[in-house]
């Protein structure tokens, strides 16, 4: 029988199933395979899959035979070793010129390694970040592909078709060679961590010092969602705050244990900042805040032993709410500025030419950090593709300056109340540090020279110097 499928897809957990349905809805025949056959059967028998151009296969040879040449196969299996195992099983069955796409959340160094090894065998490997979770995969994700541009073949048209659309523009881009797509997806996730932590801190301020009810908080987030903060995460936060637990009648969010999970991509983003000599303090603060939250038992004990300030009374709620909106926006700008700066640093090291305006553009739809203000980020990088830091763009510089009095008041409020605001305060410190022509690092250099003869530079002469501090 002649091969029928335009593309193959391996891995029918939540992401793979939804992606297969999306591909089929866009008129492409997709052959599917999953390690355990029950999942494949259950999927193709489901009402969603029935009647769509989805071809089930039950072994890899059958899958490969079902796909038109040169074959293109998307892997949506668990990130890590399963991807290597899957590639090893496929290699004897596919041929030079075939395209393998890893659509999972791979660590970008793994993608660089796999791309290089497969290129030697003539296999075109495309490491692709796909963001948007289940809903995005089904209705249009944001897609960040990495690999040789001419290797994408018909996969590019399929990605273009299945990605989210904003103003008729597809949220798909070819980001750069080898690991560039997965790197940018990882930084997306880092920014997502920061965005979520900032929103959580805003909720803590509204609930604690401002003492608002859940319905009041819901309305505030809903009203913020009509302004510059308009974004998916603000929108779902309003929905979450409006929901009650059917069992107890209490606000749903208050019956959920305050212990946040993480799968690692936020930590990878922080490590990348360190590896490339860049800095992402707000993303780091968000990762660490999740880790601290996980120490629930210790925190419960410490709450009875470690003192803090008494909560102040008589706060002007309206002022707190208005200042919080500005502080949230300004902090969010800093988190994005950090994410884009880390991307620049990594790109310089790996020889990637990143189109940051395009990256901002494809994050406007489909992905978790989709937000109205990404239009301004796109415009900033269109004005100046070599902008060293997003905060220096005139639009954002003005926004940060306008926001800073409110932003400082909010961080001060947290300090006075003993309410931890690691993301808000790290963002403000990033802003203040970046705009400081002088920093106290001269003293650090002196200390390093004192105890380790590490030498220092002078402000008035070229060269490196050492002082005998004992004299």
Binding site for ligand NBP (CB under 6 A): 11-16, 34-36, 39, 76-79, 82, 85-86, 104-105, 130-131, 133-134
**Minimum distance of ligand NBP from residue 268's CB (angstroms):** 12
Let me know: does 365 contact 140? Beta carbons within 8 Å: yes
Q: How far is the CB of 80 from ligand NBP (least distance, A)?
A: 8
Nearer to ligand NBP, 179 or 281 (CB): 179
- Number of residues assigned to the chain: 471
Considering the complex, state which of residue 33 and residue 434 has its C-beta at the smaller distance from ligand NBP.
Answer: 33
Least Å distance, CB 342 to ligand NBP, is: 20
CB of 42 to ligand NBP, least distance (A): 10
Catalytically annotated residues: 185, 192
Return the residue nearest ligand NBP (CB atom).
104
Cβ burial 246-272 (10 Å sphere, 16+ → b, else e): eeeeebbbeeeeeebeeeebbbbbbbb
The torsion angles phi and psi of 462, rounded to 5 degrees, stand at -70, 155
- Output 36 or 120, the one with its CB closest to ligand NBP: 36
How many Å apart are CA 109 and CA 113, to the nearest integer?
A: 6
- 193 vs 261: CA distance, rounded Å: 11
Instruction: Specify the residue, 41 or 65, whose C-beta has the smaller distance to ligand NBP.
Output: 41
DSSP 225: T
Neighbours of 9 (CB within 10 A): 28
Q: Hey, what are 284's tokens?
A: 């780091």
Least Cβ distance, residue 133 to ligand NBP (angstroms): 4
- Kindly list the distances between the CA atom of residue 412 and the CA atoms of 91, 252, 330, 405, 406, in Å, as whole numbers in the listed order: 59, 30, 15, 11, 10
Cβ distance to ligand NBP smaller for residue 70 or 264: 264
Cβ–Cβ < 8 Å for 122, 97: yes
Q: How far is the CB of 118 from ligand NBP (least distance, A)?
A: 17
Measured CA to CA in angstroms, residue 336 lies from 190, 281, 331, 387, 391 at distances of: 9, 11, 9, 13, 9
Question: Taking the complex as a whole, how short is the minimal distance between the CB of residue 470 and ligand NBP, in angstroms?
Answer: 56
User: How far, CA to CA in Å, does 408 sit from each of 147, 155, 394, 440?
Assistant: 44, 48, 21, 21
With beta carbons less than 8 A apart as the criterion, state whether 171 and 364 touch. yes
Contact 123, 96 (CB under 8 A): yes
CB of residue 185 to ligand NBP, shortest distance in Å: 8
Helical H segments across 149-264, by residue range: 154-162, 180-207, 214-224, 232-241
Cβ-based nearer residue to ligand NBP, 83 or 241:
83
**Lookup: tokens for 461:** 């002469």
Q: What angle do CA 438, 281, 387 make, to 5 degrees?
A: 65
Q: Are 457 and 463 in contact (CB under 8 A)?
A: yes
Residue 6 backbone dihedrals phi, psi, to 5 degrees:
-75, -25
């Amino acid at each position: 029988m002649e091969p029928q499928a335009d593309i193959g897809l391996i891995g029918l957990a939540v992401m793979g199933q939804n992606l297969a349905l999306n591909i089929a809805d866009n008129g492409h025949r997709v052959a599917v395979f999953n390690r355990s056959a029950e999942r494949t059967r259950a999927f193709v028998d489901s009402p969603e899959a029935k009647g769509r151009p989805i071809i089930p296969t039950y072994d890899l040879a059958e899958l490969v035979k079902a796909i038109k040449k040169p074959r293109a196969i998307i892997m949506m299996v668990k990130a890590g070793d399963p991807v290597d195992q899957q590639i090893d099983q496929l290699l004897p069955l596919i041929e030079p010129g075939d395209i393998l796409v890893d659509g999972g959340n791979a660590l970008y160094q793994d993608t660089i390694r796999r791309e290089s090894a497969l290129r030697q065998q003539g296999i075109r490997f495309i490491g692709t970040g796909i963001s948007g979770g289940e809903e995005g995969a089904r209705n249009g994700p944001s897609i960040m592909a990495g690999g040789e541009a001419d290797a994408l073949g018909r996969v590019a048209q399929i990605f273009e078709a299945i990605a989210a659309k904003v103003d008729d523009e597809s949220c798909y881009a070819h980001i750069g060679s080898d690991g560039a797509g997965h790197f940018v997806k990882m930084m997306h996730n880092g920014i997502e961590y920061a965005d979520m932590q900032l929103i959580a801190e805003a909720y803590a301020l509204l609930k604690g010092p401002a003492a608002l009810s859940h319905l009041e908080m819901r309305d505030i987030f809903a009203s913020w969602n009509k302004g510059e903060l308009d974004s998916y995460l603000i929108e779902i936060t309003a929905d979450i705050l409006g929901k009650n637990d059917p069992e107890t009648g209490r606000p749903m969010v208050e019956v959920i244990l305050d212990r946040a999970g993480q799968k690692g991509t936020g930590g990878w983003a922080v490590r990348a900042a360190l590896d490339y000599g860049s800095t992402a303090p707000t993303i780091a603060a968000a990762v660490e805040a999740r880790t601290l939250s996980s120490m629930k038992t210790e925190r419960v004990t410490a709450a009875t032993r470690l003192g803090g300030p008494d909560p102040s009374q008589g706060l002007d709620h309206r002022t707190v709410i208005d200042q919080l909106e500005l502080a949230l926006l300004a902090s969010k700008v800093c988190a994005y500025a950090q994410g884009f700066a880390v991307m620049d640093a990594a790109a310089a090291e790996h020889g990637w030419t990143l189109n940051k305006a395009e990256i901002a553009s494809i994050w406007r739809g489909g992905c978790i950090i989709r937000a109205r203000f990404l239009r301004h980020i796109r415009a900033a990088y269109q004005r100046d593709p070599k902008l060293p830091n997003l905060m220096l763009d005139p639009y954002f510089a003005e926004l940060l300056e306008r926001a800073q009095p409110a932003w400082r008041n909010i961080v001060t409020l947290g300090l006075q109340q003993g309410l931890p605001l690691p993301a808000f305060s790290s963002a403000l410190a990033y802003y203040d540090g970046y705009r400081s022509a002088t920093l106290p690092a001269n003293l650090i250099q002196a200390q390093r020279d004192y105890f380790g003869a590490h030498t220092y530079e002078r402000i008035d002469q070229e060269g490196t110097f050492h002082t005998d501090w004992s004299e």
